[in-house]
Structure 1
């Protein structure tokens, strides 16, 4: 069972690496701050239409988790776990050097905690150039996150409606990309009310696939696909969303009236393989999706946000993939459960997935300086290999102290535990996770 939860161990030079990174970032901020009127924006000309802008964010998790049976954390079997982790951090340098030319450099990483097995590192997540040819067409090249399929195939982490993203919309994450980024080219634009994007990219290939294909079940192939092609279109009924970023927000906190209907696709050849007799069969990955996003500002600085999507994934016969978000368990003891260790549960597979999400924003005080936003998400997956639907849900509440720049979230997440017996995969139990998150952004 493939488990994508990233885990790392204590390293003697961990704190030294973190200090170096933070010190370097601080020096850069001080340098630009001294030269700019805006604390994080440095103007390059007198017209102030050319600039370098710095932004960043971090999310810290305090969590209590019911672990899957047989989960091993640092070699010790654990049935539950409390941990503190840095879910993700980002430092972004965006430059506009003419009316039409933009350059972007993004640094960061995910899932840093004291149950880790790898050295802390700051990765170059994005490095790309974007050029606008006209008001209807722009294109870019480099390592970037522009992709198709659905709205949250490129989710804005710091503007998520729930406590985290929905992983069935990013089915190949980590397996064929670098935290949702790939090397490639893209095209984007708007024609009247239609917003579109296309992406042609080179999938990553970590080289850690199963060396031998299985009979009757597709798994990720031990070959590198040549390309990944995707596209997404949405029709915007009310206010138009910005295309300056690839990443779509989960909520505008009532600042926009938005109703969009979207549809997209993703195709990647030679993604999985399986044995058919003595022959190896290679399967492409093909996914189709439709979705709807709606945000309606309401009186007294409140708002309602709704999202619904339908995905059809085809990765070959009986393909299944489990996800463990920020998984503290690196391994598990052999057992009859198919989830995998830690927080893993089957999310992606050949089949159909329905997703619903809702949030309601209300002010805490009359000045609207603080806001509350209860939210809930529900995922219903009918996957070929499972004999019953995979149902996942979460609910919680955000407290916005300064919008998305300072946010506290409390959430509960519940997942099914699938057991294999008599050639059937059925839900034997359910496990939960309590989470307290703090997000800071500038």
Structure 2
């Protein structure tokens, strides 16, 4: 076994063992500045950082197997002057490492950018409308995933289904409506598709579709995208205040939800017909999912489980990076080991995804197994994860140790 991998694993085990006695006080809600006695006028600020050591076995001969990565550094602020109005601002950076850094911090990879900036008007206690750069996405729970409280070390990549294709880092500029109808939660949105896309290929005759409808066909034919997600809450009701879905409640709630969602982008994909002319191809994605989170007894243990089926249509024989026309089945499960609320707790987990593509005879299989150590719930957490991804000639093994703090 590679010496660097042994060092990383030993370091991770040492941290997990020695950290058990280093329990920090429970998080008390972060920084919240209230401007009235009732707490209806306030400003709340949340900050978090995720730092990683990453070992990969399949790299170029001149590259290191072990690297360090600032996975996320974020600040989120939201405030209201009355119960009718809310404004949210969320900015930061992702994946700052030796390749994306610049000598004076002015390169593209070093720059902060807005993840969310939206304003919201609350029609009443149960229904709201808003607009801006927002994260009220459709399709599935994982396409609306919070990065603060995931069960696995990171989100299932293929579940952020349009990231970089028609949005800015999983956010669109548009308008949305969200709320509750009894035990049914909903979020729907009409958005502008981005002109720029990760997929900058040009369609070829008899070739596959490319995701560049607005860039190649214009905003009149391919400018709008539509999304929605609906989930029914059979047990405890989850908050719908912010758009970010919780990954694991660590036994603090008893949740069982069934959900379904969609994403539609007319003429979002483009292909070249036999006459050499560009034609649009509708992008349509839908999914169904189930989420279960419950305490087990009174000893502090808990179970978290999730499963989803997703059907992806990005255009005929589309296959690019993590995206492809076909289907995906994904599931994960985690068990929070018994322990008192005032002590550190361990949570082993497993996840598996299988992606099939019309353009390939091979399936993409992704297996992950990991262990979370909670020092103060999600506010101080260490995660150690092994992942294996196989697809065609690719067989990639990765071991990642991540430290996260948010306040």
TM-score, structure 1 as length reference? 0.79
After superposition, the CA RMSD in angstroms is 1.9
- Say whether residues 1:292 and 2:276 are aligned partners: no
> Does the CA-based 8 Å contact 1:67-1:80 persist in structure 2?
no
The residue number in structure 1 matching 2:73 is 89
- Which residue, 108, 111, 122 being the options, matches 2:92? 108
| Cα distance in structure 2, aligned partners of 1:127 and 1:268 | 23
> Does the CA-based 8 Å contact 1:363-1:370 persist in structure 2?
no
Show structure 2 runs of 5+ residues with no match.
1-27, 102-106
Q: 1:309-328, aligned counterparts within 5 Å?
A: 309-322=308-321
1:250 counterpart SS class: coil
The count of corresponding residues between Structure 1 and Structure 2 is 365
- Which residue, 228, 233, 236 being the options, matches 2:233? 236
| Cα distance in structure 2, aligned partners of 1:262 and 1:435 | 31
Show structure 1 runs of 5+ residues with no match.
1-36, 72-76, 323-346, 419-427
2:378 counterpart SS class: coil
TM-score, structure 2 as length reference? 0.85
Q: 1:238-387, aligned counterparts within 5 Å?
A: 238-278=235-275, 279-299=277-297, 300-322=299-321, 347-364=322-339, 366=340, 368-387=342-361
The residue number in structure 1 matching 2:3 is none
Distance 1:166 1:38, change over 3 A: closer
Which is further off, 217-226 or 241-250?
217-226
Which is further off, 201-210 or 186-195?
201-210
1:168 counterpart SS class: helix
> Does the CA-based 8 Å contact 1:417-1:429 persist in structure 2?
yes
Distance 1:212 1:287, change over 3 A: same
| Cα distance in structure 2, aligned partners of 1:66 and 1:107 | 33
- Say whether residues 1:133 and 2:158 are aligned partners: no
- Which residue, 122, 136, 143 being the options, matches 2:133? 143
1:157 counterpart SS class: coil
> Does the CA-based 8 Å contact 1:273-1:281 persist in structure 2?
yes
Deviation at 1:314, TM superposition (A): 0.6
Deviation at 1:220, TM superposition (A): 1.9
> Does the CA-based 8 Å contact 1:175-1:205 persist in structure 2?
no
The residue number in structure 2 matching 1:63 is 54
The residue number in structure 2 matching 1:33 is none
The residue number in structure 1 matching 2:401 is 436
> Does the CA-based 8 Å contact 1:397-1:409 persist in structure 2?
yes
- Say whether residues 1:216 and 2:200 are aligned partners: no
Distance 1:210 1:182, change over 3 A: closer
| Cα distance in structure 2, aligned partners of 1:367 and 1:409 | 19
Deviation at 1:209, TM superposition (A): 4.6
Which is further off, 367-376 or 181-190?
367-376
The residue number in structure 2 matching 1:124 is 114
The residue number in structure 2 matching 1:331 is none
The residue number in structure 1 matching 2:24 is none
1:153 counterpart SS class: helix
